[in-house]
Amino acid sequence: MTFIKSFVSLVLLSALTLSAEAQQPGERVFRFLEIEGDARSAGLGGSHAVYINPGVAQFTSNPALLANATANQLYLSYLNHIGDIQFGTASYATNIPDIGIFSASIRFLDYGDLNNFDELGNDLGSATSNDLALTAGYAAHLSETVSYGVSLSGIHSSLAGFQSSAISFSGGLIYSAPERETSAGLYLQHAGTQLSTFNGEQESLPLNIAAGVVHRLRYIPVRIHVTLQRLNTWDLENANDSGSPSFSENLARHLVGGAEFLFGDRVRARIGYDYWLNRQAQTGKRVDGAGVSLGFAVHLDQMHVDFSRTSFSDMGSVVQLGVSIPL
């Protein structure tokens, strides 16, 4: 156990000392990794750094969440994205006493049939494209209040006959104060490199460093989530910017917020807001719902069901359904 802790600490330290990348998020490869892997996260606006009573699927963002997740659970989710793009996930976790919790996940995205043309505009028929990520994770407690986790992902993309593969590392830490239902966490996500490229040119993975807190209000059954994402790229530029964004505008673009309303032990309602998504998808209307997410959950005796809906303004909305069952 001491060896495992020492090894994980060394890997985390090495990853966290990576230099910040100057590229904008939109210039990176394997963008499907940024899609929320579970409906609870999507309903709260995005992949927050920490949750109370996390599920097994959320370790793909912060692996440290595994340490407080319920083991021997299978989580399945399906998302019908914009343009008939389909995205599905499956995650499972098991506990090994005195060692920690291990988890495995698969994420798959299918773009459907695409029209394929050559450089002269000749129709070459249809083409298929898809993305795949296989992730293995491990988490444990350093103490009663501190947990850590790491994960390793193998990634493969096939885009109209061109293929690329990569390997990435994610790691995280969480501090919990259970008596106050308050936790703080941070994670580094998708630190890695391409093993093979689409056209011989090396591209960056969607590296994401995030930190955040969750706190249950004292007299109201509501949990408030606040997370700052993409801290490795401070200047988040938008194509519609007339100049460099101010400090306050940049801060808002990194901010993801959400609230989870607790109706007894079985029902949850959620709302979230991603300001950066709003800035990218908004249409300039006086009231624009881009970046707003809604969701709910029903906890049954042998099944948990999660649902979310995220608005992309005039481009439409995406709906995600997740189911967790014991095995």
Tell me if 175 is assigned to some domain. Answer: yes
Domain with 26, as residue range(s), is 2-229
Tell me if 201 is assigned to some domain. Answer: yes
pLDDT confidence tier of residue 322, bands split at 50, 70 and 90: very high
Tell me if 198 is assigned to some domain. Answer: yes
Task: Give the predicted TM-score (pTM) of the model.
Answer: 0.85
Q: What is the pLDDT of residues 232-251, one digit of tens each?
A: 988 888 877 777 888 999 99
Q: What is the pLDDT of residues 88-121, one digit of tens each?
A: 999 999 999 989 999 999 999 988 765 665 565 5
Q: Which among 92, 82, 53 has a CA at the least distance from the CA of 223?
A: 53
Distances (CA, A) of 43 to 48, 153, 205, 256, 306: 11, 25, 25, 11, 9
Tell me if 6 is assigned to some domain. Answer: yes
Q: What is the pLDDT of residue 312?
A: 79
CATH of the domain at 199: 2.40.160
The pLDDT of residue 276 is above 80: yes
**In degrees rounded to 5, what are phi and psi of residue 4?**
-60, -45
**In degrees rounded to 5, what are phi and psi of residue 282?**
-65, 155
Average pLDDT over the chain, rounded to an integer:
85
Q: How far apart are CA 210 and CA 46, in angstroms?
A: 11
What's the rounded mean pLDDT across residues 297-313? 91
The pLDDT of residue 2 is above 60: no
Q: Which among 192, 165, 152, 177 has a CA at the least distance from the CA of 59?
A: 152
**In degrees rounded to 5, what are phi and psi of residue 278?**
-60, -45
pLDDT confidence tier of residue 171, bands split at 50, 70 and 90: very high
The pLDDT of residue 9 is above 50: no
pLDDT confidence tier of residue 16, bands split at 50, 70 and 90: very low
The pLDDT of residue 125 is above 90: no
55: helix, strand or coil: coil
Tell me if 322 is assigned to some domain. Answer: no
Q: What is the pLDDT of residues 187-224, one digit of tens each?
A: 999 999 999 988 888 889 999 999 999 999 988 999 99
Tell me if 278 is assigned to some domain. Answer: no
* Torsion angle of C-alpha atoms 314, 317, 318, 322, degrees rounded to 10: 170
CA 213 to chain CA centroid, Å, is: 16
Report percent pLDDT > 70 for the chain. 85
Strands 317-326 and 86-96 come out as unpaired
Q: What is the pLDDT of residue 11?
A: 43
Tell me if 79 is assigned to some domain. Answer: yes
Q: Identify residue 164 by its one-letter amino acid code.
A: S
What's the rounded mean pLDDT across residues 292-296? 95
Tell me if 287 is assigned to some domain. Answer: no
Contact 155, 132 (CB under 8 A): yes
Q: What is the pLDDT of residue 10?
A: 38
Give the chain's domain count: 1
Q: What is the pLDDT of residues 31-88, one digit of tens each?
A: 899 989 899 999 999 999 999 999 999 999 999 999 999 889 999 999 987 767 889 9
Q: What is the pLDDT of residue 198?
A: 84
